[in-house]
């Protein structure tokens, strides 16, 4: 019998990351798998959402985003990212960075188009390509610094290349792309007439004094870049589903059409609260970095003490580890045995690679957790592995 469901959906499986969260709940484990905080979202932002609901901001917002939020996004992007942004011409508010990415790809891709993706990659980008009809071309980031080979990158560009996806700070590796690297990528985008789609959802979570560089701020790139970010990570509100993308006016027009027919719009009262949150002062962002720096060091010590080889992240809130010194099991078996019976949930490395066997000696830990959660996880790791 022929399949009742589309070939397109058969092309990808269920999200491994989200599956690990479900298994974790079943095993009463400590969830260091999926990238979401287990601590409260900012009080002032929550109060703003309550006020908006009580003020009856409960009907559809403008499809491409409430004016207040688009203005706040434009101001932040113009100042923090050095990317001149107009609230009316360039900003589309979406249901998370996730929807922004798929809307951007659907706005750009024609059959036969290729999209370059750095590997390991955030697992959504693979299905995003399948859903939008793009053919992915993978370019390797190599440990320990997760740098790319410039010749390999240039070889991936060609007549069919429509876009390149950049993610900085990078999930899963914690790499922060340097200005030099982004200038090189920009030169290839210009040479081959390619659009950069840059996922900067972790743009404020940087360590060791590193600077965030948006590729749209590099000369010649403003007119060929789609910059994506959102509330989920910096404002610890992954469940609100508020994200946005910034693009040149013609591309914004196409993205808004896709977005309108996919979702109509993001939650109206939460957009009002997000507009206030984006105007938090500088101390909010410096405290965020301080608290994540402490969490990084607790988890890093626990992992090093228990035999993992650790790749210290420069940004975002994940640690990639090699498990070769600990076990002969592959990543999935190791992750499942570490999680069983109240253990620790991680993400098997194979979910970040096109060819799963390339990730079979890797697991990823998330440290967007309360200190007590991280300390409890450290105790379990020491009991089971040290």
Ligand X SMILES: Cc1ncc(COP(=O)(O)O)c(C=O)c1O
Question: Which residues of this protein are in contact with ligand X, per CB under 6 A?
Answer: 35, 96-98, 122, 167, 171, 199, 201, 230, 232, 238, 243
| Measured distance CA(223)–CA(244) in Å, rounded | 17
DSSP 358: G
Shortest approach of ligand X to residue 368 CB, angstroms?
Answer: 10
Residues in the chain: 386
- CB-nearer residue toward ligand X: 232 or 236: 232
Rg (CA), the chain: 20
Please enumerate in sequence order all residues whose Cβ is within 8 A of that of 13, keeping only pairs 6 or more positions apart, or say none: none
Shortest approach of ligand X to residue 41 CB, angstroms?
Answer: 13
Give the CA angle between residues 117, 251, 236 to the nearest 5°: 60
Shortest approach of ligand X to residue 32 CB, angstroms?
Answer: 13
Shortest approach of ligand X to residue 212 CB, angstroms?
Answer: 14
Contact present, 98 and 327 (Cβ < 8 Å): no
Shortest approach of ligand X to residue 119 CB, angstroms?
Answer: 13
Shortest approach of ligand X to residue 197 CB, angstroms?
Answer: 11
- CB-nearer residue toward ligand X: 232 or 306: 232
- CB-nearer residue toward ligand X: 148 or 330: 148
Phi and psi at residue 280, to the nearest 5°: -55, 150
- In terms of Cβ atoms closer than 10 Å to its own Cβ (0-12, 13-18, 19+), residue 237 is buried
Shortest approach of ligand X to residue 199 CB, angstroms?
Answer: 5
- Any alpha helices (H) in the chain, and if so which ranges? 7-10, 16-26, 43-54, 67-79, 96-108, 125-132, 150-156, 179-192, 249-263, 268-277, 282-305, 331-339, 371-385
Shortest approach of ligand X to residue 96 CB, angstroms?
Answer: 3
Closest residue to ligand X in the complex (CB):
96
DSSP 136: E
- CB-nearer residue toward ligand X: 32 or 380: 32
Contact present, 256 and 107 (Cβ < 8 Å): no
CB atoms within 10 A of CB 95: 20
- CB-nearer residue toward ligand X: 117 or 374: 117
Least Cα distance to 251 among 193, 182, 168, 195 occurs for 195
Shortest approach of ligand X to residue 351 CB, angstroms?
Answer: 12
Q: Which helix (H) or strand (E) holds 199?
A: strand 195-199
- CB-nearer residue toward ligand X: 171 or 373: 171
- CB-nearer residue toward ligand X: 124 or 306: 124
| Measured distance CA(75)–CA(78) in Å, rounded | 5
- CB-nearer residue toward ligand X: 87 or 237: 237
- CB-nearer residue toward ligand X: 96 or 348: 96
């Amino acid at each position: 019998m022929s399949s009742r469901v589309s070939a397109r959906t058969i092309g990808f499986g269920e999200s491994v990351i989200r599956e690990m969260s479900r298994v974790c709940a079943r095993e009463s484990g400590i969830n260091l798998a999926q990238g979401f905080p287990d601590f409260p979202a900012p009080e002032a932002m929550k109060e703003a959402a309550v006020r908006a609901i009580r003020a009856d901001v409960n009907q559809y917002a403008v499809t491409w985003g409430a004016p207040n939020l688009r203005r706040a996004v434009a101001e932040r992007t113009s100042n923090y990212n050095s990317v001149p942004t107009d609230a009316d011409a360039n900003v589309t508010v979406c249901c998370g960075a996730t929807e922004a990415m798929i809307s951007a790809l659907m706005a750009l891709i024609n059959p036969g188009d290729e999209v370059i993706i750095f590997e390991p990659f955030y697992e959504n980008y693979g299905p995003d390509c399948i859903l939008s009809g793009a053919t992915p071309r993978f370019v390797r980031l190599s440990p320990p610094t997760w740098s790319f080979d410039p010749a390999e990158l240039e070889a991936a560009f060609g007549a069919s290349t429509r876009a390149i996806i950049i993610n900085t700070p990078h999930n899963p590796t914690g790499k922060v792309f340097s200005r030099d690297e982004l200038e090189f990528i920009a030169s290839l985008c210009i040479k081959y007439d390619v659009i950069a789609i840059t996922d900067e959802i972790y743009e404020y979570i940087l360590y060791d004094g590193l600077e965030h560089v948006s590729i749209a701020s590099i000369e010649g790139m403003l007119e060929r870049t789609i910059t994506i970010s959102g509330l989920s990570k910096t404002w610890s509100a992954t469940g609100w589903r508020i994200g946005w993308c910034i693009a040149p006016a013609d591309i914004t027009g196409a993205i808004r059409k896709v977005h309108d027919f996919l979702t109509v719009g993001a939650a109206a009262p939460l957009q009002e609260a997000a507009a206030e949150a984006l105007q938090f002062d500088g101390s909010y962002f410096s405290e965020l970095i301080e608290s994540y720096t402490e969490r990084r060091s607790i988890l890093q010590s626990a992992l090093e003490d228990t035999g993992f080889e650790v790749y210290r992240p420069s940004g975002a809130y994940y640690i990639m580890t090699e498990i070769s010194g600990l076990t002969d099991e592959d990543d999935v078996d190791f992750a499942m045995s570490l999680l069983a019976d109240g253990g620790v949930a991680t993400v098997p490395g194979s979910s970040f690679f096109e060819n799963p066997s390339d990730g079979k000696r890797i697991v990823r830990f998330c440290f967007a957790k309360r200190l007590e959660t991280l300390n409890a996880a450290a105790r379990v790791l020491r009991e089971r592995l040290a």
